[in-house]
Structure 1
Amino acid sequence: MPNTSAATAATARPTGPGDDLIPRHPADDLPLPDAVLDEIAARLAAGAEVVGLGESTRFSRETFAVRDQLFRRLVREHGFRALAVQDHAVAAAALDAYANGGPGSAASALAGAWKPWRTAEMAAALEWVRAFNREHPDDPVRIFGVRPAEAGPADYDAVLAFVRVAAPELSAPVAAHLEPVRTAHEMAEHVQRARGVHPGRPFAEHARDALALVEPLPGADRPGGAAERMRLIVQFHERSVAGRGSYAGEAELWAGVVADFRRRTGLRVVYWDGIGHTVAAGAVLGLASERGAQATVGSVLRERYGAGYVSAAIGFHHGDLGVVTVPAPTADLVDARLGEGAPAARWLDLREEDVRRRWDGPAKVRVVSGVYTPERDAAEHLAVASLAAAFDVLLHLRRATAAHWLP
């Protein structure tokens, strides 16, 4: 059967504009023929209201390309017209504006986006959506973020500018709180801790102390003013992975944003995120196993939509991701079993009875996040009680290479 065997290597033709943003279009390197991608997309689309396309890493051009190619097919051939991304509402609105004919470039639209999205591969995907929308002005693709509006670098600048005028004597104390914590917009606080570059004090504490200094100042409480911006900054750090003390995200909130968009617009949605969020069942993160199984965005969507939420996981066996070289997976990971026989690519539809019978059961799936290190590879995984309950489709690539970061 085609979905249980290694896919034969083939060169896929470029499928949209923006291909010149990187030396070669990602699809050129995929060991998945067009016909296979067509079949997978058709299976994902059948009866689906929301399709979660999750990657095991955000640093690979190949896993991103698989997701992008499936998304394009879901749009072109199956009528999906919305893309949900893990970013806050304002950043995603900039992507949507550009995709629907706004000024600037894909790179400038991505300038305020969450750092993992600021790649040439994402820029090419955005260019493709823009071209599709130009050709389908009455039936465009919309892009939205699953997170509420959050603070951005401009908020820090505005607060500091306000304080310099309203209370010059507080400029240095406020800056001492804000300058360290604004670095989280380039490298998340929990990643800073993992890499040993964190300055020490929790960022949420710094933000709250800055708010206490700014809030009483005359004029700070005007609409859109310094106090409001400071509260957004506090909220950003309190809701971060480090602030929450959890990798799980705010599953109910993010899933609610997806469901509300679907309800308001009637559009079928493709949701791009890491597998730790798209997984359709509660999961245990290996780096936080003491917390037990956590609800995920995908598990909440599965409760809401049943089989109408379809979850696909896109993983890989090994590769140099630029930020880290990932070794072959340990034997207890599903990734190792998927890589048996060294196929260039393999995919499984776990909803098929014979496939489910051979593959279902408790499982661990590798996750390569921003805090990943090969030294603790054994802990860098997602554990689920049932592989078939967690994912409807698995796609596995033998080798991954680094995504191309935008300047």
Structure 2
Amino acid sequence: MLVQRLGAPSDFDPLLERVRNARVVMIGESTHGSYDYYRLREQLTRRLIAECGFSFVAVEGDWPDCDRVHRSVTGAPDGIPDPQVALEHFERWPTWMWANAEVSRFCRWLRAWNLERPEAERAGFHGLDVYSLWESMQAIFDYLGEEDPASLEVAQDAYRCFEPYGKRVEEYGAASRFVSARCEEEVVRLLARTREQALCDGPDSFSAWQNAEVVAGAERYYRAMVAGGPESWNIRDIHMQDTLDRLLDRYGPDARGVVWAHNTHVGDARATDMSADGMVNIGQLARERHGADAVALVGFGCYRGTAVAAPRWGSPAEAMVMPPAREGSIERRLHELLPERAVLVFGGEDQPGWVTETADHRAIGVVYDPTFESWGNYVPTRLGERYDAFIWCDETTALHPLPAHAMTGELETYPAGV
């Protein structure tokens, strides 16, 4: 195991050597609202794109919103010139995950970097998540109205099936427990039609296909969600991994992708108690599909600080205080052993016990109650198996949300809003 003090972007050199030949690098976060995680992740991602030739960034966000950002950062003819304006269009709660000053700074850098290069060499920005059923449906209508009016009837059939449930599609999930879920058949027809077009057309048809995949994934997700348990989580993470694989195929045989998501998605579930509960995640799936040597998983952690979160699902975000990590946790041990900021690169036979043994590892979602620290907010983890590397910040500060019109999003995600 290698430990490197972090102070400047060049201090990532040992980590870059470890991941530069990977096809996929997943970079996590133990909260969705810490400035330090976003800033360090940005610095590492810039180097992966500029020095190692990575093709795109894929984030734990909605496809339609992120496609607007993608068109901006790649300089598409219909793209918004300022990526920050594109980010300010994010409306689904929690908007602060991507509509923040830290992501804006990265996207402005990415646009400037891209515009100095030929269109085929520009790095993209994409969303992996499954929630945007209505937004994706509208995007399909917009595309078909321009490019394939003959297919509009198929999309309208799918829309009419969900329409009685309004924007509260979890009500569709509840209804599907008692009545025939005809929407599944309509969605499959829509998916087949847009997939056929995407295989022989350009980027707009690929985006329409992906929006149809979102509609299909959302239909399965909401039916599973009402039953509780791990199935809806697995549908979501499998959808995200399938989307990542489609992007790798779309960008070509030499494509390489960077993923930004919570540690709970990035860190291999088999090295946690998630596996015993029947849960998988994108870190595990990527290793299984592409091979461990082709995938690098990078986690984040801190001892204490502040983070943007909300006390309840859908309520306004605030800068919340994270108390010192509890006794026996990985974070408490790293606080005692490491400098204020450091990167750990795992590997080799001679690793300390705290790398290989199971210990509690902090995980904070968009909903956070600091009073749960004594019994919740932690995932039992074997750190050196869950990640290939780990970035340590002893104390963090809250990130800086952009002005946005937050709408209440979907119901709280299982297991804890991550």
Per-residue CA distance 1:64-107 (angstroms, 9 max, x = gap): 11111110011111111111112233222212111111432323
Q: Does 1:261 align with 2:247?
A: yes
1:38 corresponds to: 13
Match 1:56 to one of 30, 54, 58 = 30
Q: Does 1:362 align with 2:358?
A: yes
2:287 corresponds to: 302
Q: Tell me, in whole angstroms, the C-alpha distance in 1 between the residues paired with 2:385 and 2:337.
A: 26
Identity of matched residues, %? 22
> Secondary structure of the residue that 1:398 maps to in structure 2?
strand
Does the 8 Å CA contact 1:53/1:272 hold for their aligned counterparts?
Answer: yes
2:259 corresponds to: 271
1:130 corresponds to: 111
Q: CA deviation at 1:382?
A: 2.3
1:333 corresponds to: 329
> Secondary structure of the residue that 1:379 maps to in structure 2?
coil
Match 1:145 to one of 127, 131, 138 = 127
Q: Does 1:400 align with 2:396?
A: yes
Tell me which amino acid in the other structure corresponds to 1:82. F
Does the 8 Å CA contact 1:282/1:293 hold for their aligned counterparts?
Answer: no
> Secondary structure of the residue that 2:26 maps to in structure 1?
strand
Structure 2 gaps of 5+ residues are 139-162, 184-189, 195-211, 310-319, 404-418
Matches within 5 A, 1:68-217: 68-102=42-76, 103-104=79-80, 105-110=82-87, 111-112=89-90, 115=95, 116-137=97-118, 138-147=120-129, 150-152=132-134, 178=166, 181=168, 204-205=173-174
CA separation of 1:125 and 1:243: change in aligned 2, threshold 3 A: farther
Tell me which amino acid in the other structure corresponds to 1:235. E
Tell me which amino acid in the other structure corresponds to 2:279. Q
Q: Tell me, in whole angstroms, the C-alpha distance in 2 between the residues paired with 1:329 and 1:76.
A: 36
Tell me which amino acid in the other structure corresponds to 2:68. A
> Secondary structure of the residue that 1:282 maps to in structure 2?
helix
Q: CA deviation at 1:126?
A: 1.0
Q: Does 1:65 align with 2:43?
A: no
> Secondary structure of the residue that 1:320 maps to in structure 2?
strand
Normalised by the length of structure 2, the TM-score is 0.68
Per-residue CA distance 1:348-387 (angstroms, 9 max, x = gap): 1111333366621223311011222112123212223x32
> Secondary structure of the residue that 2:396 maps to in structure 1?
strand
Q: Tell me, in whole angstroms, the C-alpha distance in 1 between the residues paired with 2:136 and 2:353.
A: 53
Per-residue CA distance 1:244-267 (angstroms, 9 max, x = gap): 544556333322221232234231
Does the 8 Å CA contact 2:173/2:225 hold for their aligned counterparts?
Answer: no
CA separation of 1:291 and 1:390: change in aligned 2, threshold 3 A: closer
Q: CA deviation at 1:340?
A: 0.8
Does the 8 Å CA contact 2:57/2:126 hold for their aligned counterparts?
Answer: yes
How many residue pairs were aligned? Answer: 335
Q: Tell me, in whole angstroms, the C-alpha distance in 2 between the residues paired with 1:268 and 1:290.
A: 27
Q: Tell me, in whole angstroms, the C-alpha distance in 2 between the residues paired with 1:394 and 1:241.
A: 32
Does the 8 Å CA contact 2:73/2:108 hold for their aligned counterparts?
Answer: yes
1:235 corresponds to: 219
Q: Tell me, in whole angstroms, the C-alpha distance in 2 between the residues paired with 1:390 and 1:399.
A: 22
* Structural RMSD (CA): 4.0
Q: Tell me, in whole angstroms, the C-alpha distance in 2 between the residues paired with 1:403 and 1:342.
A: 23
Tell me which amino acid in the other structure corresponds to 2:387. F
Q: Tell me, in whole angstroms, the C-alpha distance in 2 between the residues paired with 1:41 and 1:239.
A: 42
Structure 1 gaps of 5+ residues are 8-30, 157-173, 183-200, 215-220
> Secondary structure of the residue that 1:355 maps to in structure 2?
coil
Task: Identify the structure with bigger relative contact order (alpha carbons < 8 Å, sequence gap 6+).
Answer: 2
Moved over 3 A (4+): 152-156, 201-209, 231-234, 239-249, 355-358
Q: Tell me, in whole angstroms, the C-alpha distance in 2 between the residues paired with 1:152 and 1:112.
A: 14
Q: Tell me, in whole angstroms, the C-alpha distance in 1 between the residues paired with 2:38 and 2:176.
A: 34
CA separation of 1:348 and 1:240: change in aligned 2, threshold 3 A: farther
Q: Tell me, in whole angstroms, the C-alpha distance in 1 between the residues paired with 2:177 and 2:383.
A: 42
Match 1:292 to one of 277, 290, 297 = 277
2:377 corresponds to: 380
1:318 corresponds to: 304
Q: Tell me, in whole angstroms, the C-alpha distance in 1 between the residues paired with 2:333 and 2:287.
A: 26
CA separation of 1:107 and 1:356: change in aligned 2, threshold 3 A: same
Tell me which amino acid in the other structure corresponds to 2:122. P
CA separation of 1:178 and 1:301: change in aligned 2, threshold 3 A: same
CA separation of 1:379 and 1:284: change in aligned 2, threshold 3 A: farther
Tell me which amino acid in the other structure corresponds to 1:256. D
> Secondary structure of the residue that 1:4 maps to in structure 2?
strand
Q: CA deviation at 1:39?
A: 2.9
Tell me which amino acid in the other structure corresponds to 1:39. P
1:170 corresponds to: none
Q: Tell me, in whole angstroms, the C-alpha distance in 1 between the residues paired with 2:247 and 2:266.
A: 17
CA separation of 1:155 and 1:51: change in aligned 2, threshold 3 A: closer
Tell me which amino acid in the other structure corresponds to 1:140. R
> Secondary structure of the residue that 1:144 maps to in structure 2?
strand
